[in-house]
Structure 1
């Protein structure tokens, strides 16, 4: 059994992702993982990866090329463009054979007909059920998982030690005793970053979408009303107090923490590898509540999708369904990327206090919604939060209510 892995806690809600359906259906193209003889592999496999995943994927691709003798064209795409480019280019035949990304892209990909179904067959039982179900939609499987992740609070133990804050405000007060330029780094940037603020938001009882008893997401906005407007006012407060700074994007937050300019950062395992390599003594903790309820970060699953218009579907199948699912490969991806393997055999051998901290912090987390309505949320959500942090919204409640209306209208126009 794995040590301090919270998948049992999130399995119920994540399994329900299969039921989080819009009106879309699959492409009809299927990548199969049957026990039949492997086909002769030839041609070139084109794979898209963003800047946060490419360093981990390079050695894996090299290994695949050595084993098969085929060429893999690994293309780095900007994280902000990779998903939309895939949706727009696949129908024209210009997209990749394989794209590496997050499970919450599934609904949009399926509804646009740009991904093929995959059949894991007996391999499915070798994975965490939650990881496999994260890529399920309308009863079909559309991706193969390789890692599970969530964000948490990371502390620089050189600056602060043995501090336990019951609330986020207490945390800020403690952080200020370190006399550093920043107290708690939470990345934002010009367009905002609602993902990294989500634990604080959920602690006000304002989830992005409401969930059913089985954990599956509805398309009803859950962050409206008093809970949402109280969170909006709290964001404005953090902005006025200079706790949050919208000019601090992901790269700046990471570097500031590396430079010892803050005792705390809210981030994920994709950054802690750099911290430990730099010799930093860190601890990973749950994000304290700001609104009185449990702080629930998004839980995400990383994996591979096969294009519905792949020029070499057999080669794509071999990489995604047969090669990426091996214990050796999943272990290598964990070692280079710091994310918990989705494969049970690989995850059971992980013994790392940093990753254990992330798993504990994610034990109360909620899966990122993969419903297509989620695509209408991010832009309005992030922009409004930046306005609140910057003090551009004189009336926080009014700004938040306008955001909800804009999101609801955007969802309605896509039905």
Structure 2
């Protein structure tokens, strides 16, 4: 397969409309002369919530911001990543919480619905970010976050166990069996299912959860239960307990990783978050696109990480300056890249040799070239539990079409109930 740069791929993605009214000046310097002005004599504090991996880079640029804006302090509060979204939703309405918080884009829909997040005026920076990243943080023509990284899953191959480049799911199983290890391939399903990791296979049958709009966003029209979804369900059943047993609910994501690290399989469907563990084990690995099971391209969900602005921030202008003209710079986005090996959302940073020279990062980028932004609309919150449960049941031997149809009806009912 011909390799293409990630930037070129991302630039080809549809771009949701985003306000670009007032230019914010250059974004390649932490302190551009045309940045929005703030009262120098007035003291102010910005509170930023991040997790431990991002804290060092944000603290460093926060010190620079304080130096450039005397009287202004940046308080970086470190939290567990999984706690940031829920706590942001509960604390902001009462006037508490941070001015800025890091978040994955798929929480944006519910943040907007509950009124806790404010739109951000990106200005000229919107044209410097990859369209897919801006689209992921946009709804109804407005941007609700500063994206900084893009991630997706791929097929990781242990080069000591296989040299094959499978083009289809059948090729993958064959290559895996030829390696003579315990598992031909590893995909953590677990007792609750894992639709995030199986979605590329589902999409290869032409099925998505919701209908896509022309601008690359998702409508609230449910399509998961259509004919293409039923075809995927039937195929999924053929891979489980009553089929070839390649997929197994007893195999969780953590167990799958452990087995791959112990070299009990040549292939593992996973994401860049496991790269540090591969490096610690000194495994020689290659990242490739996930093979198709249904004849169409396997399209993984693309997740975008970014920073959001509280709707209750008392220093919104100051916070926007910090977001756009500091966190949105090449320097900072490369520092954040060093913490997680996720492709920067800023095209200038994504084109840097630090990024393009990393073969694993580029492997994931190629694996995500046909990816779809994970739906961020509020109805998506009603999907995951039913979706995962149905997949686990089918892998465990339940009748595929009936189980899938019931799942779709349950999702639709839950969405209506949630309003």
- Coarse TM-score class (shorter-chain normalised): 0.7 to 0.9
Q: Could you tell me whether the CA contact under 8 Å between 2:59 and 2:76 is conserved in 1?
A: no
3-state SS of the aligned residue for 1:43? Answer: strand
Which residue number in structure 2 is paired with residue 293 of structure 1?
296
Shift of 1:133: 2.7
Counting only pairs closer than 5 Å after superposition, residues 151-170 of structure 1 correspond to structure 2 as: 151-161=153-163, 163-170=164-171
State TM-score, norm by structure 2. 0.85
Measured in 1, the distance between the counterparts of 2:152 and 2:17 equals 17
Which residue number in structure 2 is paired with residue 276 of structure 1?
279
3-state SS of the aligned residue for 2:265? Answer: coil
Q: Could you tell me whether the CA contact under 8 Å between 1:45 and 1:316 is conserved in 2?
A: no
Q: 1:123 to 1:257 in 2, by over 3 A?
A: same
Q: Could you tell me whether the CA contact under 8 Å between 2:7 and 2:350 is conserved in 1?
A: no
Q: Could you tell me whether the CA contact under 8 Å between 1:104 and 1:371 is conserved in 2?
A: yes
Measured in 2, the distance between the counterparts of 1:315 and 1:250 equals 41
Q: 1:290 to 1:95 in 2, by over 3 A?
A: same
Shift of 1:333: 1.4
Measured in 2, the distance between the counterparts of 1:12 and 1:371 equals 23
Q: 1:35 to 1:58 in 2, by over 3 A?
A: closer
3-state SS of the aligned residue for 2:268? Answer: strand
Q: Could you tell me whether the CA contact under 8 Å between 1:45 and 1:312 is conserved in 2?
A: no
Q: Could you tell me whether the CA contact under 8 Å between 2:50 and 2:81 is conserved in 1?
A: no
Which residue number in structure 1 is paired with residue 173 of structure 2?
172
Which residue number in structure 1 is paired with residue 23 of structure 2?
none
Is the aligned partner of 1:90 residue 2:92?
yes
Q: 1:9 to 1:66 in 2, by over 3 A?
A: closer
Q: Could you tell me whether the CA contact under 8 Å between 2:16 and 2:141 is conserved in 1?
A: no
Which residue number in structure 1 is paired with residue 55 of structure 2?
58
User: Which one of 119, 122, 125 corresponds to residue 121 of structure 2?
Assistant: 119
Which residue number in structure 1 is paired with residue 417 of structure 2?
413
Shift of 1:324: 1.1
Task: Mark the runs of 5 or more structure 1 residues left unpaired by the alignment.
Answer: 20-32
Is the aligned partner of 1:344 residue 2:347?
yes
Moved more, 189-198 or 304-313: 304-313
Which residue number in structure 2 is paired with residue 357 of structure 1?
363
Q: 1:406 to 1:306 in 2, by over 3 A?
A: same
Q: Could you tell me whether the CA contact under 8 Å between 1:7 and 1:130 is conserved in 2?
A: no
Which residue number in structure 2 is paired with residue 262 of structure 1?
265
Q: 1:127 to 1:134 in 2, by over 3 A?
A: same
Shift of 1:206: 1.2
Moved more, 326-335 or 316-325: 316-325
Measured in 1, the distance between the counterparts of 2:414 and 2:124 equals 41
State TM-score, norm by structure 1. 0.85
Q: 1:284 to 1:43 in 2, by over 3 A?
A: same
Shift of 1:89: 3.0
Which residue number in structure 2 is paired with residue 197 of structure 1?
198
Q: Could you tell me whether the CA contact under 8 Å between 1:208 and 1:222 is conserved in 2?
A: yes
Q: 1:99 to 1:251 in 2, by over 3 A?
A: farther
Which residue number in structure 2 is paired with residue 4 of structure 1?
4
Which residue number in structure 1 is paired with residue 393 of structure 2?
387
Q: Could you tell me whether the CA contact under 8 Å between 1:149 and 1:268 is conserved in 2?
A: yes
1:135-186 CA-to-partner distances (Å, cap 9, x unmatched) read 121121110011112111110101111x132321221221122233322222
3-state SS of the aligned residue for 2:172? Answer: helix
Which residue number in structure 1 is paired with residue 78 of structure 2?
75
3-state SS of the aligned residue for 1:244? Answer: coil
Which residue number in structure 1 is paired with residue 374 of structure 2?
368
3-state SS of the aligned residue for 1:72? Answer: strand
Q: 1:263 to 1:190 in 2, by over 3 A?
A: same
Which residue number in structure 2 is paired with residue 28 of structure 1?
none
Q: How many residues align?
A: 391
Shift of 1:338: 0.7
User: Which one of 137, 147, 150 corresponds to residue 148 of structure 1?
Assistant: 150
Which residue number in structure 1 is paired with residue 404 of structure 2?
400
Measured in 2, the distance between the counterparts of 1:13 and 1:369 equals 15
1:113-144 CA-to-partner distances (Å, cap 9, x unmatched) read 11011112222232223322321211211100
Measured in 1, the distance between the counterparts of 2:17 and 2:255 equals 34
3-state SS of the aligned residue for 2:79? Answer: strand
Measured in 2, the distance between the counterparts of 1:253 and 1:156 equals 14
Shift of 1:385: 1.2
Measured in 2, the distance between the counterparts of 1:38 and 1:401 equals 56
Which residue number in structure 2 is paired with residue 237 of structure 1?
238
Measured in 2, the distance between the counterparts of 1:18 and 1:218 equals 18
Q: Could you tell me whether the CA contact under 8 Å between 1:13 and 1:216 is conserved in 2?
A: no
